[in-house]
Structure 1
Amino acid sequence: MQIKESPETFDVIIVGSGAGGGMATKILSEAGLNIAVIEAGPFFDPADPNTRTQLRWPYESPRRGAGSTRPFGDFDAAYGGWEIEGEPYTKKQGTKFDWFRSRMLGGRTNHWGRISLRFGPLDFKRKSIDGLGDDWPISYDDVKPYYDKVDKLIGVFGSNENLPNDPDGYFLPAPKPRLHEMYYIKGARKANVPVYPSRMSILTKPINENRGVCFYCGQCNRSCSAYADFSSGSCLIFPAQKSGGQIKLYTDSMVREVVTNDSGKATGVILINKIDRKEYKLNAKVVVLAASACSSARILLNSKSKVHRDGLGNSSGLLGKYLHDSTGASRVAFIPQLMNREIYNEDGVGGMHVYSPWWGNHKKLNFPRGYHIEVGGGLGMPAYGFGFNTNMLNEFIGGKVGGYGDELRKDIKKLYGSLIWLAGRGESIAMESNYCEIDSNVVDEWGIPVLKFNYKWSKHEKLQAKHMHDTFEEITDGMGGHVLGDRPTEDQEYGLETPGRIIHEVGTTRMGDDPKKSVTNKFQQLHDADNVFIVDAGPFVSQADKNPTWTILALSWRTCDYIVSELKKQNI
Structure 2
Amino acid sequence: MQIIESPEIYDVIIVGSGAGGGMATKQLADAGFNVAVVEAGPYFDPADPKTMTQLKWPYESPRRGANTDRAFGEWDMSYGDWEVEGEPYTHVEGTEFKWWRSRMLGGRTNHWGRISLRFGPKDFKGKTRDGYGEDWPIGYEDVKPYYDKLDKLIGVFGTNEGLENDPDGFFLPPPKPRLHELFYINGAKKAGIPVIPSRMSMLTKRINKDRGVCFYCGQCSRSCSVYADFSSGSCLIFPAQKSGGKVKLYVNAMVREVTTNAEGKATGVSYVNKEDRKEYKLRAKVVVLAASACSSARILLNSKSGQHPNGLGNSSNLVGKYLHDSTGSSAAGFIPALMNRDISYNEDGVGGMHVYSPWWGDNTKLDFPRGYHIEVWGGIGQPNYGFGFNPNDFNKFFGLRVGGYGDSLREDVKKYYGCVIGFGGRGEGIARKENYCEIDPTTVDQYGIPVLKFNYKWSDLEKRQAKHMQDTFEEIIHNMGGHYLGEKPGKEKNYGLNAPGEIIHEVGTTRMGNDPKTSVTNKFQQLHDVDNVFIVDAGPFVSQADKNCTWTILALSMRASDYIIQQLKQQSI
- After the TM superposition, which residues 262-301 of structure 1 pair with which residues of structure 2 at under 5 Å, given as runs? 262-301=262-301
- The offset of 1:409, in angstroms, is 1.1
Partner of 1:116: 116
Is 1:506–1:540's contact at 8 Å kept on the other side of the alignment?
A: yes
Contact 1:388 1:485 in 2 (8 A): no
Equivalence for 1:533: 534
The answer for the alignment partner of 1:333 in structure 2 is: 333
Please give the secondary structure, in 1, of the residue aligned with 2:181: helix
Q: Give the 3-state SS of the residue equivalent to 1:473 in structure 2.
A: helix
Structure 1 segment 60-79 matched on structure 2, within 5 A: 60-79=60-79
What SS does structure 2 have at the residue aligned with 1:254?
A: strand
Q: Aligned residue for 2:377? A: 376
Note the 1:198-213 alignment, pairs <5 A: 198-213=198-213
SS of alignment partner, residue 418 of structure 2 = coil
- Establish whether residue 568 from structure 1 lines up as the match of residue 569 from structure 2: yes
Q: Does the Cα contact within 8 Å between 2:348 and 2:382 map onto a contact in 1?
A: no
| CA shift in 2, pair 1:161/1:371, >3 Å | same
Q: Write the distance in 2 (CA, Å) between the matches of 1:388 and 1:140.
A: 43
Measured in 2, the distance between the counterparts of 1:399 and 1:93 equals: 44
CA drift of 1:403 comes to 1.6
Deviation at 1:95, TM superposition (A): 1.3
Shift in CA distance, 395/450, structure 1 to aligned 2, threshold 3 Å: closer
1:483 aligns with 2:505: no
Please say if residues 267 and 285 of structure 2, whose CA atoms lie closer than 8 Å, have aligned partners that are also in contact: yes
Alignment correspondent of 1:105: 105
Following the alignment from structure 2 to structure 1, what is the Cα–Cα distance between the partners of residues 134 and 214? 40
1:7 aligns with 2:7: yes
The answer for the alignment partner of 1:185 in structure 2 is: 185
Q: 2:536·2:553 contact (CA, 8 Å) conserved in 1?
A: yes
Q: Deviations over 1:275-329 (max 9, x none)?
A: 1110000000000000000000000000000011010011000000000000000
Contact 1:17 1:233 in 2 (8 A): yes
Aligned partner of 2:95 in structure 1 is: 95
Taking structure 1 as the reference length, the TM-score comes to: 0.99
* Residues 24-35 of structure 1 mapped to structure 2, 5 A cutoff: 24-35=24-35
Residue type of the alignment partner of 2:507: V
Cα deviation for residue 392 of structure 1 reads 2.8
The code of the aligned residue for 1:380 comes to G
CA contact (8 A) 2:19 2:537 kept: yes
Aligned to 1:497: 498
Q: Deviations over 1:396-448 (max 9, x none)?
A: 76531112222211111100010001110000000000000000110001000
Partner of residue 55, structure 1: 55
Kindly provide the amino acid, as one letter, of the partner of residue 131 in structure 1.
G
Q: Distance in 2 between matches of 1:292 and 1:145?
A: 24
Distance 1:164 1:140, change over 3 A: same
Distance 2:34 2:471 in 1: 54
Map of 1:140 onto structure 2:
140
Matched, 1:443 2:444: yes
Report the counterpart of residue 516 of structure 1 in structure 2. Answer: 517
Structure 1 position 42, deviation (Å): 0.4
Structure 2 CA distance, aligned partners of 1:220 and 1:8?
38
TM-score (structure 2 length as normaliser): 0.98
Equivalent residue for 2:355? 354
Aligned partners of 1:386, 1:249: CA distance in 2, in Å? 37
Q: Distance in 2 between matches of 1:400 and 1:306?
A: 71
Cα offset, 1:393, TM superposition: 2.1
1:366 maps to 367
Task: Tell me the equivalent position of 1:173.
Answer: 173
The total of aligned residue pairs comes to 572
Mapped to 2, the partners of 1:332 and 1:67 lie a distance apart of 24
Structure 1 residues 91, 516: CA separation in 2 closer, same or farther (over 3 Å shift)?
same
The separation in 1 between residues aligned to 2:357 and 2:325, in whole angstroms, is 20
Q: Map 1:420-459; keep pairs closer than 5 Å.
A: 420-459=421-460
Q: Distance in 1 between matches of 2:173 and 2:389?
A: 35
2:312 is matched with: 312
Q: What do residues 1-23 of structure 1 show as CA deviations (whole Å, max 9, x unaligned)?
A: 00000000000000000000000
Q: Give yes or no for contact 2:31–2:244 (8 Å, CA) kept in 1.
A: no
CA–CA distance in 2 between the matches of 1:89 and 1:388?
Answer: 35
Q: For 2:182 and 2:423, locate their aligned partners in 1 and report how far apart those are by CA, in whole Å.
A: 14
The match for 2:81 is 81
In terms of mean alpha carbon deviation, does 19-28 or 485-494 score higher?
Answer: 485-494
Counterpart amino acid of 2:81? G
Aligned counterparts, 1:251-266, within 5 A = 251-266=251-266
**Cα distance in 1 for residues equivalent to 2:309 and 2:389:** 50
Contact 1:382/1:416 (8 A) holds in 2: no
Shift of 1:24: 0.3
Contact 1:313 1:319 in 2 (8 A): yes
User: Cα deviation per residue 1:524-569 (whole Å; 9 max; x = unaligned)?
Assistant: 0000100000000000000000000000000000000000111122
* Residues in 1 aligned to 2:417 and 2:244: alpha-carbon distance in whole angstroms: 50
RMSD of aligned residue pairs (Cα, Å): 1.1
What is aligned with 1:470? Answer: 471
Q: Which residue type is aligned with residue 21 of structure 2?
A: G
Of 393-402 and 334-343, more deviation after overlay is shown by 393-402
Residue 473 of structure 1 and its aligned partner are, at CA, apart by 0.7
In the alignment, the residues of structure 2 paired with residue 126 and residue 547 of structure 1 have an alpha-carbon distance, to the nearest angstrom, of 16
Contact 2:65 2:385 in 1 (8 A): no
1:264 CA displacement: 1.1
Amino acid at match of 1:468: M
Q: How far is 1:385 from its partner?
A: 4.9
Shift in Å, 1:62: 3.1
Distance 1:388 1:544, change over 3 A: farther
- Do the aligned residues in 1 keep the contact of 2:21 with 2:289 (CA within 8 Å)? yes
Structure 2: gaps (5+ residues): none
Answer yes or no: is the 8 Å Cα contact 1:335–1:480 preserved in 2.
yes
What are the residue-to-residue correspondences of 1:223-262 with 2, within 5 Å?
A: 223-262=223-262
Taking the aligned partners of 1:36 and 1:277, their CA distance within structure 2 comes to 20
Q: Are the equivalent residues in 1 in contact too, given 2:66–2:386 (CA < 8 A)? A: no
Deviations 1:50-98 (A, max 9, x none): 0001011222223211132321111211111111110111111111111
Q: Quick one: percent identity of the two aligned structures?
A: 75
Structure 1, 533-542 or 384-393: larger mean CA deviation: 384-393
Q: Which digits, 9 at most, give the CA deviation of each residue in 1:346-391, with x for residues without a partner?
A: 1000000000000001100010010000000001122565568533
The Cα shift of 1:114 comes to 0.2
Structure 2: distance between partners of 1:185 and 1:401: 29
Deviations 1:182-234 (A, max 9, x none): 00000000000000000000000000000000000101011100000000000
Distance 2:417 2:505 in 1: 31
Say if 1:391 and 1:400, in contact at 8 Å, map to a contact too: no
Letter in 1 for 2:180: H
